[in-house]
């Protein structure tokens, strides 16, 4: 059994363990709490794998540069694992990307509703949430056209509730749209992990349940003193599906 496991997944497990060992330790975080400037932060991580990421160049650090560099590192690691994966890991890794896709769509909807440039909005999207159709929507001038362009035959089309009135999308709060997509996403991911069984199901079902509870509580708190008509749209969707 171990031989079969190593043939199929041994290499990726070793790579993943290597990535994990490169993460900051508790002692590293304690050192970071003592930092008083970005220069101190860069010096503090110099002896870690993150110091190697920045190539030892700690001159004139900025939050933007640090965030961009760390994000690029994350993308490299993710896509390396993704390119060497086989099923069912490939589908599991795609599920990891879906939340970023949903957030990107929500960002585009909010931007279009506020008459922002679509090219500028695309630059603000998280790269892990990019998909082919996202690069082909520069012609969209409003949120309705946006949904026509990206919510048909796209990776997140499977998470679109059938009873949410997309023809009136410009009058629906973007957080309602985001929550509706996330709800179906979490349900589908939960079902997928349940079918996989084993440790994946035991761990992921608890994590996904926690995330669902967290989002439900957040929505309930933010719903206080809000527009009841928008909330009724989401409540109706929830009741019909679950």
DSSP 11-70: HHHHHHHHHHHTSPPHHHHHHHTT--SHHHHHHHTTTSHHHHHTTT--SS--HHHHHHHH
Structure confidence at residue 233 (pLDDT):
39
Into how many domains does the chain fold?
2
Look at residue 166 in the predicted model and tell me its pLDDT.
64
pLDDT at 59: 65
pLDDT at site 226: 61
| Residue whose entry in the numeric block shows the structure tokens 């999207």 | 125
- The rounded distance, in Å, linking the Cα atoms of 94 and 183 is 17
CA distance 157 to 30: 43
Is there a single domain that holds both residue 94 and residue 133? yes
Look at residue 167 in the predicted model and tell me its pLDDT: 62
Instruction: Give the residue from 65, 83, 101 where a domain finishes.
Output: 83
168 and 153 in a common domain: yes
Tokens of 29: 């975080």
Same domain? For 54 and 121 the reply is no
Residue 238 pLDDT? 38
d(CA 53, CA 96): 23
- Tell me: do 194 and 107 sit in the same domain: yes
pLDDT at 79: 95
For residues 208 and 104, membership in a common domain is answered with yes
Q: State the 10-residue block means of pLDDT for the chain, 242 residues long.
A: 68 91 91 90 85 69 84 93 92 96 89 83 90 72 70 83 70 82 94 95 95 88 62 40 42
106 and 190 housed in the same domain: yes
| 137/234 same-domain check | yes
User: Given this model, what pLDDT does residue 122 score?
Assistant: 86
Claim to verify: residue 95 and residue 207 sit in the same structural domain: yes
* Rounded-to-integer distance, Cα 170 and Cα 54, Å: 43
Q: List CB contacts of 133: < 8 A, sequence separation 6 or more.
A: 149, 150, 153, 154
pLDDT of residue 198: 93
Q: Are residues 135 and 206 in the same domain?
A: yes
Boundaries of domain holding 157: 89-241
Q: Are residues 118 and 15 in the same domain?
A: no
Tokens (6 digits) for 5: 């496991």
User: Where is the domain boundary, 68, 83, 98?
Assistant: 83
- What is the per-residue pLDDT for 136? 66
Instruction: Give the end of a domain, one of 50, 66, 83.
Output: 83
Both 66 and 93 in a single domain?
A: no
Based on the fold, state whether residues 96 and 161 are members of the same structural domain.
yes
């Amino acid at each position: 059994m171990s031989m079969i496991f190593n043939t199929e997944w041994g290499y990726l497990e070793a790579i993943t363990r290597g990535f994990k060992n490169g993460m900051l330790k508790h002692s590293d975080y304690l050192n970071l709490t003592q930092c008083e400037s970005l220069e101190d932060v860069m010096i503090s991580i110099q002896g870690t794998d993150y110091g190697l990421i920045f190539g030892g160049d700690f001159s004139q650090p900025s939050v933007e540069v640090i965030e961009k560099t760390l994000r690029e590192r994350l993308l490299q690691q993710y896509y390396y694992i993704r390119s060497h994966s086989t099923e069912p890991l490939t589908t599991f890794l795609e599920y990891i990307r879906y939340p970023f896709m949903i957030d990107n769509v929500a960002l585009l909807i909010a931007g279009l509703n506020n008459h922002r440039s679509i090219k500028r909005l695309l630059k603000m999207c998280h790269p892990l949430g990019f998909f082919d159709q996202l690069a082909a929507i520069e012609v969209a001038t409003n949120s309705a056209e946006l949904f026509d362009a990206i919510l048909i035959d796209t990776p997140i089309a499977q998470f679109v509730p059938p009873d949410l009135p997309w023809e009136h999308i410009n009058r629906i709060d973007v957080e309602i749209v985001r929550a509706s997509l996330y709800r179906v996403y979490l349900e589908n991911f939960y079902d997928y992990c349940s079918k996989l069984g084993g440790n994946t199901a035991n761990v992921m079902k608890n994590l996904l349940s926690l995330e669902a509870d967290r989002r439900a509580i957040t929505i309930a708190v933010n719903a206080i003193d809000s527009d009841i008509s928008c909330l009724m749209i989401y409540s109706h969707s929830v009741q019909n599906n679950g």
